[in-house]
Amino acid sequence: MAEDADRQFMALALAEARQGMADGGLPIGAVLVRNGKVVASGHNQRVQHGDPIAHGEMDCLRKAGRQRSYRDTVLYTTLSPCMMCSGTILQFGIPRVVIGEAENFEGDIPFLRGRGIDVTLMDDEGCKEVMRHFLAQPGNLELWHEDIAED
């Protein structure tokens, strides 16, 4: 049952990632869920908004608006979260994170797990493929390096 829900919500996050890429940005999507219901979804919008912190997870959380607590939520993200997004997950006390893939970007899974966050890595082919496709396009590798602050 939980695996079915994880696949369902990851499919929504992947749709967000594809939307981000269609809009000219990076293909990283996220969905915040509480009690089996979507609270918010979003995708990386750094390029679209010229906002250096508009990562997929941050966009999703911004769209969720003020929440009394995040301690009963699950965050689904197509790509392993960076340190900024991992810090936000920890700050808000999100207890579980489901990650689509960590092949194209390792992210900070050990950081999250080391601080008691329940991390599920799905190793999802759709999530891997959308990022591979993006990185293969001319100019996108430079855009990706900008996103993760890598020279």
State the average pLDDT over residues 23-35. 97
Domain extent listing, the chain: 4-148
Q: Is 1's pLDDT higher than 80?
A: no
State the average pLDDT over residues 92-109. 96
pLDDT at 149: 82
Q: How confident is the model at residue 100 (pLDDT cuts 50, 70, 90)?
A: very high
Q: Is 92's pLDDT higher than 70?
A: yes
Give the whole-angstrom CA distance, residue 73 versus residue 129: 27
Give the whole-angstrom CA distance, residue 147 versus residue 145: 5
Q: Which residues are catalytic?
A: 57
Q: Is 122's pLDDT higher than 90?
A: yes
State the average pLDDT over residues 81-91. 97
CB 98 within 8 A of CB 74: yes
Q: How confident is the model at residue 147 (pLDDT cuts 50, 70, 90)?
A: confident
Classify 4-148 by CATH class.
Answer: alpha beta
pTM for the full model? 0.96
State the average pLDDT over residues 16-45. 97
State the DSSP H helix or E strand holding residue 31, giving kind and residue range, or none if neither: strand 29-34
